[in-house]
Amino acid sequence: MTETTKRGFLSRAVRWVLSSTLTLIVVAGAVAAVMLGAAALANRSADVPEPEAAATTRVAVEALQRQDSYVVGRTFVGQVEARATVDLSFELGGRLVSLLVDEGEEVAAGQILASLDTALLKAEETRQEAARAATLTQLELAETRLVRAEALRLEGFASVETLDQALATRNELQSRLAEIDASLQSVAINLEKSVMPAPFQGRVGAQFVDEGTALTAGQPVASLIETGVAEVRVGLPLGLDRASLDGAEVDVGGVVYPATLIQFRPDIDPLTRTQTALFAIETETPPVFGQTATLRVETDVAASGVWIGLDALQEGAGGVWTMLVVEDSVVKPATVEVLHAEETRVFVRGSFQDGALMIRSGAHRVVPGQVVEIISAEG
pLDDT in tens, 259-309: 889 999 999 989 889 999 999 987 878 788 889 999 998 888 889 999 888
Within-domain flag for 19: yes
Residue 7's pLDDT is what?
64
Q: Are residues 94 and 213 in the same domain?
A: yes
In the chain, the percentage of residues whose pLDDT exceeds 90 is: 40
Q: What is the mean pLDDT of the chain?
A: 85
What's the CATH number where 358 sits? 2.40.420.20
Q: Which residues contact 241 (CB under 8 A, 6 or more apart)?
A: 299
Residue 347's pLDDT is what?
92
Within-domain flag for 242: yes
Q: Can you list the positions of beta strands (E) in 320-371?
A: 321-327, 330-341, 345-350, 357-359
Q: Is the Cβ–Cβ distance between 191 and 122 less than 8 Å?
A: yes
**pLDDT reading at 214 higher than 90:** yes
Q: Are residues 356 and 239 in the same domain?
A: no
Q: Are residues 98 and 216 in the same domain?
A: yes
Q: Are residues 205 and 103 in the same domain?
A: yes
Q: Are residues 231 and 214 in the same domain?
A: no
Give the model's confidence band at 50: pLDDT under 50 very low, under 70 low, under 90 confident, else very high.
Answer: low
Within-domain flag for 54: no
Q: Are residues 230 and 168 in the same domain?
A: no
Q: Are residues 341 and 218 in the same domain?
A: no
Q: Are residues 230 and 297 in the same domain?
A: yes
Give the model's confidence band at 2: pLDDT under 50 very low, under 70 low, under 90 confident, else very high.
Answer: low
Mean pLDDT of all residues in 352-366: 81
Q: Structural domain of residue 1, as residue ranges? A: 1-49
| Alpha carbon separation from 16 to 11, 78, 93 (Å, rounded) | 9, 109, 145
Residue 287's pLDDT is what?
87
- Run of H or E including 177: helix 160-192
Question: How many domains does the chain fold into?
Answer: 5
Q: Are residues 94 and 78 in the same domain?
A: no
Q: Is the Cβ–Cβ distance between 294 and 75 less than 8 Å?
A: yes
Residue 178's pLDDT is what?
95
Q: Are residues 297 and 230 in the same domain?
A: yes
pLDDT, tens digit, 9 for 90 and up, residues 102-124: 999 999 999 999 999 999 999 99
Q: Is the Cβ–Cβ distance between 119 and 192 less than 8 Å?
A: no
Give the model's confidence band at 149: pLDDT under 50 very low, under 70 low, under 90 confident, else very high.
Answer: confident
Q: Are residues 45 and 79 in the same domain?
A: no
Q: Which residues contact 286 (CB under 8 A, 6 or more apart)?
A: 80, 227, 229, 230
Q: pTM value?
A: 0.59
Q: Is the dihedral of CA 209, 114, 289, 200 positive or negative?
A: negative
Please spell the DSSP secondary structure of 2-24, one letter per residue. -HHHHHHHHHHHHHHHHHHHHHH
For the chain, the residue count is: 379
Give the model's confidence band at 55: pLDDT under 50 very low, under 70 low, under 90 confident, else very high.
Answer: low
- Run of H or E including 314: strand 314-315
Identify the CA nearest to 252 among candidates 86, 75, 106.
75
What's the CATH number where 163 sits? 1.20.5
pLDDT, tens digit, 9 for 90 and up, residues 304-350: 999 888 888 888 777 788 888 888 888 888 889 999 888 888 899 98
What's the CATH number where 247 sits? 2.40.30.170
In the chain, the percentage of residues whose pLDDT exceeds 70 is: 90
Within-domain flag for 252: yes
Within-domain flag for 3: yes
Q: Which residues pair with 298 in a beta bridge?
A: 73
Residue 47's pLDDT is what?
58
Within-domain flag for 55: no
The C-alpha angle 116, 118, 121, rounded to 5 degrees, equals 135
Q: Are residues 103 and 219 in the same domain?
A: yes
Instruction: Using DSSP, state whether 352 is helix, strand or coil.
Output: coil
